[in-house]
Each structure stands twice: as C-alpha cells, then as structure tokens.
Amino acid sequence: MLNESISVTSRLQQRVVQAIREAGGWLAFDRFMALALYEPGLGYYANATPKFGQMPAGEDGQGSDFVTAPELSPLFGQTLARQVAQALAATGTDEVWEFGAGSGALALQLLDALDALGQAP
C-alpha cells in the first residue's frame, strides 16, 4: 500500500514537472491544482490509493477522506469543555451552540464532558 502511494506520488510529480516544462517554466495555480487533484489515475481524487481517515459511507452513500479530531478521540471535546465551562460560568449563560458540519461527535463529547464537570447546560 505504501509503495503504491509512493509510486502514484512519484508519477504525479513527473507529470507536474512535464506540465511546467510544457507551459514554458511556470504553471498557473489552478492548473497545478487540477493536476494534483484530478489528473486521471494520479490526482488525489482520481487514484485508487487509500486515503488517511477514510470514513464509511453516510446517509448520502458517500464516504469521506477527511476526518477531524473529534472523530478520532474524545480528547479535543474534553479539553474544549474546560474552556466552555469557564465561559459559561463567567457569562452566567447556560447555552452552548455548535455549528460544525460534521457528524455531531464534537457536540456530544462536549456535552458529556460538561456533564462530567457538573456544568452541563
């Protein structure tokens, strides 16, 4: 798996160098990104190598190749809860809003940790 990823990366690098030469020595950023992401068989989204953090398909049937800290461990939510508890105490409020577009893992971890601290809203 690692050797396959290195091979794809090496071939993509060669393709980018070729494109730079063909373009006279420099490559526009949008062209570079198109190669890096979508070059058939080589680009990040166009090759079959496994991606870090690959998540299973959700309700929409699509998987994800990006993962955030709360999906890996509750430690971020627990750490954030300490600061949120201080803010709740300082402001006298009992409302916490979480606007993340993820799975809700951070909100759940934050609420669980606030409850453990005796500061649940």
Domain housing 33: 2-38
In a domain, 121, yes or no: no
In a domain, 56, yes or no: no
pLDDT digits (tens, 9 = 90+) for 62-121: 556 677 788 888 999 999 999 999 999 999 988 888 887 778 889 999 999 999 999 888
pLDDT for residue 8: 87
Q: What is the dihedral of CA 85, 86, 90, 92, to 10 degrees?
A: 0
Over residues 12-27, the mean pLDDT reads: 96
Largest CA distance in the chain: 64
What does R_g of the chain's alpha carbons equal in angstroms? 22
pLDDT for residue 27: 96
The answer, yes or no, to whether residue 59 has pLDDT greater than 90, is: no
In a domain, 64, yes or no: no
Q: Which residue has the higher pLDDT, 121 or 1?
A: 121
What is the count of structural domains for the chain?
2
In a domain, 18, yes or no: yes
pLDDT classification of 28: cutoffs 50, 70, 90: very high
In a domain, 108, yes or no: yes
pLDDT for residue 103: 81
Q: Can you count the helices (H) and strands (E) in the chain?
A: 5, 0
The answer, yes or no, to whether residue 30 has pLDDT greater than 70, is: yes
**In this predicted structure, which of 11-25, 37-51, 80-94 has the lowest mean pLDDT?**
37-51
In a domain, 59, yes or no: no
Q: Are residues 73 and 112 in the same domain?
A: yes
In a domain, 84, yes or no: yes
pLDDT for residue 61: 52
Q: What is the mean pLDDT of the chain?
A: 86
In a domain, 9, yes or no: yes
